[in-house]
Amino acid sequence: DADRKRILIGMSNTGGGHKASAEAIQAAFQERYGNKYEIFIVDLWKEHTPAPFNSMPDTYSFLVKNAFLWRFTYEVTNPKLIHVPYLSAVGSFVSRGVHEALDKYHPDLVVSVHPLMQHIPIRVMTERVKSGAMPPTNFATVVTDFTTCHNTWFCPGATRCFVPTEYCRQLALGNGMAPQQIILHGLPIRPSFSRPLSSRPVLRRSLGMDTGLPAVLLVGGGEGMGALEETVSQLDARVGDKCQVVVICGRNRSLQERLRARPQGPGHVLLHVCGFVDNIHEWMGACDTIITKAGPGTIAEALISGIPILLNGNVPCQEEGNIPYVIDNRVGAFETRPDRIASIIASWLIEGGEEQRAEFTAMGRRAKALGRPKAVYRIVDDLAALADEPCFDFGPAAAALLGQRNGAAAT
Ligand code: UDP
């Protein structure tokens, strides 16, 4: 359809977060603009690059479970001096794939939600604009890490870079981006999080939960990572039937089976075991608090939901800064030992005195105030404007992407 603007979102399935962000943007576009824009979400590494680069998502799954290897890869490639030449070397192999994607989709705007999808696509686009194979086209990065993040996110050649926090804005500045290139709206979270929810008792009834017992939501990202089973055991021992626990196992099937086989009834926590759910906003709305690894998506969602966050671990490197973010903003706590996690939950929900209860309520209020439910709409409105018209005012590096018309527009 020639009337519809086409937006190509480049992502890769390394972790669940990039895909979730791409889908959040797509859903908000649909809600805001109906069919005016056509959105293509493409795993550029998997679908459009030759081996061995197309196995990157699988390599990531392996590396990230081996903290040392991941940290090594991350730290070694973090300095610009290393990753810029590295990416241009890789680029000579993969740029053909990017050309193919551009030929196939003819985008009016290219958006990246992945740390490794700036330098190569921007270089390819710049070449095409220069050779007349493509009209001047904007390129936008939407950063989906929350605080600490890899420097490859920030390429001064992008027309815009959307960041979720002030911390990320500073990193973008440090990587040579101009202040007017960087926009701070927040993380793009699915629109379901910004719609009004039913009251907690109504939600609990519809989800099959007890309406009276305090409720803890236990999650480990899309993959059900972390010591979730041991945490359930410790909660069982510490608070028993004074509490209910919802465990979202994500794609971790064996965890789901093991939890379902646990003893139930008097003396035990009331367990609700789920696989991968698509209504996490309802579970967050129904629970009093969440225990999670320091995933950016889950943290941003819990803030919007206004529930205190107990962080129980993190992926090395890019999730590390999320821990001080939660602590310094006084919206939760960090504890990796399941027995101590159970004690914190007991003090927050069951045994705490009046002062502790007041502080727990205040944490929830502060979380709600920090949450950015409108971020996804603000990002989408800005992206729509970028798709409608190439912009010519974003510094010499970005100007290269926009080609000769930049000079023409300036005169
Ligand atoms: N998620 C979900 N259903 C599930 C488990 C997780 O929708 O059953 C979503 C969760 O709401 C969040 C994302 O998956 O949006 C996980 O992202 P996060 O950044 O927290 O961690 P990742 O899995 O990317 O490491």
pLDDT tens for the chain, residues 1 to 411: 667 999 999 887 766 678 889 999 999 999 999 999 999 998 876 655 555 556 566 666 666 666 766 676 777 677 776 677 666 656 665 677 788 889 999 999 999 998 888 888 898 998 898 888 888 899 999 999 999 888 989 999 999 999 999 999 999 999 999 998 999 999 999 999 999 999 999 999 999 999 999 999 999 888 888 899 999 999 999 999 999 999 999 989 999 999 999 999 999 999 999 999 999 999 999 999 999 999 999 999 999 999 999 999 988 878 889 999 999 999 999 999 999 999 999 999 999 899 999 999 999 999 999 999 999 999 999 999 999 987 655 445 566 666 544 443 332
Find the length of the chain. 411
- Give the three-class secondary structure for 225: coil
DSSP code of residue 192: G
Q: Ligand 1 centroid vs 237 CA: distance in angstroms? A: 28
- pTM value is 0.89
145 with 318: CB under 8 angstroms? yes
- Ligand 1 pocket: which of 11, 60, 280, 318 to mutate (most atoms within 8 A of CB): 280
Q: If you measure from the C-alpha of residue 16 to the centroid of ligand 1, how many angstroms do you get, rounded to a whole number?
A: 6
3-state secondary structure of 97: helix
Cis link prior to 52 (omega < 30° from 0)? yes
Q: Which residues contact 75 (CB under 8 A, 6 or more apart)?
A: 317
- Local structure of 132: helix, strand or coil: coil
- Please, what is the angle between helix 17-33 and helix 375-388, to 10°? 70
DSSP state of 216: E
Which atom of ligand 1 approaches the CA of 315 most closely? 25
Output the residue whose Cα is nearest ligand 1's atom 15: 297
Instruction: For residue 274, give the nearest of 296, 245, 298 by alpha carbon.
Output: 245
Residue 41: partners with Cβ closer than 8 Å, 6 or more residues away? 9, 11, 19, 22, 23, 26
Say if CB 108 and CB 67 are below 8 A apart. Answer: no
Rg of the chain on CA atoms, in Å? 23
Whether the Cβ atoms of residue 402 and residue 390 lie closer than 8 Å to each other: yes
Dihedral sign, CA of 195, 213, 354, 330?
Answer: negative
- The residue nearest atom 6 of ligand 1, judged by CA position, is 222
Give me the phi and psi of 188, to 5 degrees please: -75, 110
Cβ neighbours of residue 10 closer than 8 Å, sequence gap 6 or more: 42, 44, 101, 110, 111, 112, 113, 114, 117, 121
3-state DSSP call for residue 94? helix
Nearest Cα residue to 339 out of 238, 262, 203, 266: 238
Instruction: Compute the distance from residue 289 Cα to the ligand 1 centre, in Å.
Output: 16
**What per-residue string of b and e applies to 269-288 under the rule 16 or more CB within 10 Å gives b?**
bbbbbbebeeebbbbbbbbb
For a ligand 1 pocket test, name from 298, 305, 311 the mutation site with the most ligand atoms within 8 angstroms of its C-beta: 298
Residues with CB under 6 A from ligand 1: 15-17, 20, 221-223, 248, 250, 276-278, 280, 295-298, 301
Asked if residues 290 and 233 have their Cβ atoms less than 8 Å apart, the reply is: no
